[in-house]
């Protein structure tokens, strides 16, 4: 039998410090009680498991939603979601950054529900000064209802990148020098809602919500914001800001994004000439060559 040796006082102290540090990190980045406010739903949004899990639900009476306590001006935001399973036609799970006012900025993930056996559509959009119309839509290469997957927004002065499980699916570059507005001055909160949109969400509104399947439920965990937090009129950034503040897509990441767009994109406003008979938006012409 091996002899048992008690750890030294120094070793015990180091272990204790590591455990405290890990606990503080988990508290800072993962706890929904301390990072979010439930703002809508009359009890349909529920924080569980000591703050590690949040669920939204939708029934015929109401949906539900939450928002971040902090406001951000640039950042890298990660959240794991598990979407409404089964027949979710007519439902929308929205996960987005947004400012306030009539000329708001917004960066959108929206998950459009489906009939059982049909794929979800991931809808993305970027609003600048209250103007959107920059939609790109994708199918996913996995079942987003079977397990949690990570959906990320990178927002820095040069670009916005939408990613799924670390794979970039879309990039919106800062092309202000060409007259294209870019969100850079307005602080934004993170929001998520689960709501009924059966007038348009599934096959353009042809498929209505089947309320016999209610309540519909989406789940969230492992929130992380490595971001510049707005406070008292200024933004305060984490010490490792440079890891994302000037981040750009390398050759491998560009290849991943091309793979997604070639195989899973189902709508791109930059290819919709009927919608823009006077010519496609400026960024559609220049984004890929700059």
Asked if 156 and 164 count as a contact pair (C-beta separation under 8 A), the reply is: no
Average pLDDT in the 108-125 region? 95
Nearest to 112 by CA among 148, 129, 137, 133: 137
Asked if 31 and 52 count as a contact pair (C-beta separation under 8 A), the reply is: yes
State what percent of residues in the chain have pLDDT above 70: 88
C-beta atoms surrounding 181 within 10 Å: 17
Token pair for 48 = 């569980």
Q: Is 248 a catalytic residue?
A: no
Catalytic residue among 49, 71, 106, 135: 106
215 phi, psi to nearest 5 deg: -80, 145
Token look-up 């089964």 returns: 86
pLDDT of 242 strictly over 90: no
Residue 285: half-sphere exposure toward Cβ, Cα within 13 Å: 9
Average pLDDT in the 208-237 region? 94
pLDDT of 53 strictly over 80: yes
pLDDT of residue 30: 65
pLDDT of residue 29: 54
| 203/120 Cα distance (integer angstroms) | 11
Nearest to 229 by CA among 52, 37, 32, 68: 68
Q: How confident is the model at residue 287 (pLDDT cuts 50, 70, 90)?
A: low
Q: Could you give all domains of the chain from N- to C-terminal order, each with its CATH number?
A: 32-285 (2.60.120.200)
User: Model-level pTM?
Assistant: 0.88
Report the C-alpha dihedral over residues 160, 165, 168, 173, rounded to 10 degrees: 0
Catalytic residue among 71, 110, 207, 283: 110
Token pair for 243 = 């890891």
- The three state secondary structure string of the chain is CCCCCCCCHHHHHHHHHHHHHHHHHHHHHHCHHHHEEEEECCCCCEEEHHHCEEEEEECCCCCEEEEECCCEEEEEEEEEEECCCCCCCCEEEEEEEECCCCCCCEEEEEEECCCCCCCCEEEEEEEECCECCCCEEECCCCCCCCCCEEEEEEEECCEEEEEECCEEEEEEECCHHHCCCCCCCCCEEEEEEEEECCCCCCHHHCCCCCHHHCCEEEEEEEEEEEEEEEECCEEECCCCCHHHHCCCCCHHHHHHHHHHHHHHEEEEHHHCCCCCCCCCCHHHHHCCCC
Q: Is 247 a catalytic residue?
A: no
| 155/99 Cα distance (integer angstroms) | 14
Burial 225-238 (b: 16+ CB within 10 A, else e): bbbbbbeeeeeebb
Average pLDDT in the 197-204 region? 90
Average pLDDT in the 95-118 region? 95
Average pLDDT in the 30-48 region? 94
């Amino acid at each position: 039998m091996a002899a048992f040796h008690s750890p030294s006082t120094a070793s015990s102290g180091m272990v204790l410090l590591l455990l405290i540090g890990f606990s503080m990190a988990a508290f800072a980045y993962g706890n929904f009680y301390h990072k979010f406010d439930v703002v809508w739903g009359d009890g349909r949004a529920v924080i569980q498991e000591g703050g590690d899990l949040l669920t939204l639900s939708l029934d015929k009476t109401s949906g539900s939603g939450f928002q971040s306590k902090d406001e951000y001006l640039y950042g890298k935001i990660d959240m794991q979601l598990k979407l409404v399973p089964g027949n979710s036609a007519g439902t929308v799970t929205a996960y987005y950054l947004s400012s306030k006012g009539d000329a708001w900025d917004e960066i959108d993930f929206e998950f459009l529900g489906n009939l059982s056996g049909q794929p979800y559509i991931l809808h993305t959009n970027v609003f600048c000064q209250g103007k959107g119309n920059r939609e790109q839509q994708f199918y996913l290469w996995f079942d987003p209802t079977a397990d949690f997957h990570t959906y990320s927004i990178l927002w820095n002065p040069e670009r916005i990148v939408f990613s799924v499980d670390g794979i970039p699916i879309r990039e919106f570059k800062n092309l202000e020098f060409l007259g294209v507005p870019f969100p850079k001055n307005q602080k934004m909160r993170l929001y998520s809602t689960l709501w009924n949109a059966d007038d348009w969400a599934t096959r353009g509104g042809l498929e209505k919500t089947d309320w016999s399947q209610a309540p519909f439920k989406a789940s969230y965990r492992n929130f992380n914001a490595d971001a510049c937090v707005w406070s008292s009129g200024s933004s305060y950034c984490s010490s490792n800001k440079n890891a994302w503040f000037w981040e750009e897509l390398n050759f491998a990441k560009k290849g991943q994004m091309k793979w997604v767009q070639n195989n899973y994109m189902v709508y791109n406003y930059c290819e919709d000439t009927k919608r823009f008979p006077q010519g496609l938006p400026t960024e559609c012409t220049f984004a890929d060559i700059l």
